[in-house]
Amino acid sequence: MQPVTAGEPAARSELIDAARGLAIILVVIGHTSQGMTSRGLWQGSSLDVRIYEWMYSFHMPAFFFLAGLFATGSLRKRGLPRFLRDRVSTLLWPYFLFELLNLVIFRVGAHVTHKLQPAWTAVAWTFFTAAGAWFLPTLFFALAVFAIVISLPVSVPMILLLAISLVVRKYCLAIPINFVAAGLFFLPMVILGAIVGGRVQQVVRIPRVISSVLAASIAWLIWHGTARHWEWNYFGSLLLALAGTGMLLLAARVVDGTDGGHWLAWCGQASIGIFLLAPYAQVAVRTLLLHVHLTGKTVQLLLPSLAAVLFGGWVYHHRDDLHARFLFVFPRWSLSR
């Protein structure tokens, strides 16, 4: 079926890639900041908490909205079985592969350092419910639910689907399986992305100066809102998520067509590679900085983050030359074109 209230699916564009690039850079900075917190490098400063609250109020929801922009178009082109198979190949496969790799590294490291290891039952529960690295299984589940519902023989208007998802969002976090609870929580963002669809390209018509002012204003609004913990409120969290997503698109518009815009699009196209490989670069650079006694907050935040973005992006864009495509796509399944 074709949901009559949905927008026409968005076409791939550098603007959307750049917005995704900004989002993945914020993810990397957030993870670097968390690493600094765990090592006491933010001691005496509350800035880490403010950065965390500001970024996490919108940068993860933005990925679900951006995925929703293309969901209906991909589903119409491929059909439900191929749509789901492709999402298994590009979302669940990398999750299982890297979680197994990280588990091996953790267990070996814990054995060498004689640290207490968690029980295998706890490890298995965390692994299969995505209680730790939740993002990829959650995105898969949200997209799968969306695709299955709008493929039903009974037509469900998109606005009605959005209303139902907003009700479910209010109660779903009580579900004990993490990726199911989180997938339902973020499902409204996927649906909103599908409703907007190709209309998102209207952002390019906004003059750069106005885009700059709007993006800065929204950034301040989010900073102000998270200071008052709007993210703890049902409607406040949704407002922050939508506002932050709009801010990313407006910021991408500011640099659209420039060298900076091209670089952000490069990051956005490689977002899965950056997400998966960033932790290894972060640990390596952070260890090197500590070894040479560079413990300043700015250095510890920016250099590991920059290295993580560049390393993950470079590997992803050279995955064929490196024979590393299997890291990101299940090797026996070629994606539907």
Q: Is residue 337 domain-resident?
A: no
Mean pLDDT computed over 206-228: 95
In one-letter notation, the amino acid at residue 56 is Y
Match 């917190």 to its residue by tokens.
37
Query: Would the pLDDT of 208 be above 90?
Result: yes
Query: Residue 312's closest CA among 269, 258, 254, 249?
Result: 269
Query: Would the pLDDT of 3 be above 50?
Result: no
For residues 250-268, one letter each, b for 16 or more C-beta atoms within 10 angstroms of the residue's C-beta and e for the rest, the string is: bbbbbbbeeeebeebbbbb
13: how many CB neighbours lie within 10 A of its CB? 18
Quote the longest CA-to-CA distance of the chain.
Answer: 64
Residue 204 and residue 15 in contact, taking contact as beta carbons nearer than 8 Å? yes
In the structure encoding, which two tokens stand for residue 326, read together?
């299997």
In the structure encoding, which two tokens stand for residue 24, read together?
């993945």
Number of domains in the chain: 1
Domain extent, residue 281, equals 14-327
How far apart CA 134 and CA 129 sit, in angstroms, is: 8
Query: Would the pLDDT of 337 be above 70?
Result: no
Match 């907007």 to its residue by tokens.
196
Structure confidence at residue 230 (pLDDT):
84
Structure confidence at residue 161 (pLDDT):
94
Q: Select the more confidently predicted residue: 100 or 307.
A: 307
Q: Is residue 267 domain-resident?
A: yes
Structure confidence at residue 11 (pLDDT):
59
Q: Is residue 111 domain-resident?
A: yes
Q: Is residue 332 domain-resident?
A: no
pLDDT digit string, tens, across residues 10-68:
556 899 999 999 999 999 999 998 888 877 777 766 777 888 889 999 999 999 999 99
Query: Would the pLDDT of 272 be above 90?
Result: yes
- Torsion angle, alpha carbons of 159, 162, 168, 170, to 10: -110
Q: Is residue 143 domain-resident?
A: yes
Query: Would the pLDDT of 218 be above 90?
Result: yes
Query: Would the pLDDT of 1 be above 50?
Result: no
Label residue 7 by pLDDT band (50, 70, 90): low
Q: Is residue 4 domain-resident?
A: no
Query: Would the pLDDT of 148 be above 80?
Result: yes
Q: Is residue 266 domain-resident?
A: yes
pLDDT digit string, tens, across residues 57-98:
999 999 999 999 999 999 999 999 999 999 999 999 999 999
pTM to 2 decimal places: 0.91
* DSSP letter assigned to residue 202: G
User: What percent of the chain is modeled with pLDDT above 70?
Assistant: 90
